[in-house]
Amino acid sequence: MIKVLFFAHLQEEIGRGEMELDNADIPVRNLKSYLQEKYNLSRMDQVMVAINEEYAVDDDEIKDGDVVAFIPPVSGG
């Protein structure tokens, strides 16, 4: 099981800030695709991903027990 955290517009689109999923031992790109399809998410191609507080890329593997955070780009000043 993995813990998934959502921030900014993703949190609004999904309706919550975190969830637990059984989607372990998959690459980041597969989890992004799964979430995009299941929750009809927009702009997942622009989202930064962190696994256990370390930035990750689409090819990185998500393991059982990991915490995965999806962080959209933020503007402001």
Q: What is the mean pLDDT of the segment spanning 17-31? A: 94
The percentage of residues in the chain with a pLDDT greater than 90, rounded to a whole number, is 79
HSE, CB side, 13 Å, CA atoms: give it for residue 51. Answer: 20
Predicted confidence band of residue 76 (pLDDT cuts 50, 70, 90): low
Element (H, E) at 17: none
Lowest mean pLDDT among 13-22, 24-33, 35-44, 60-69: 35-44
pTM of the prediction?
0.91
Question: E strands of 1-77, at which residues?
Answer: 2-6, 18-21, 26-27, 48-51, 54-56, 61-62, 67-71
**Which domains are assigned to the chain?**
2-71 (3.10.20.30)
pLDDT for 30 beyond 80: yes
First to last CA, the chain: 37
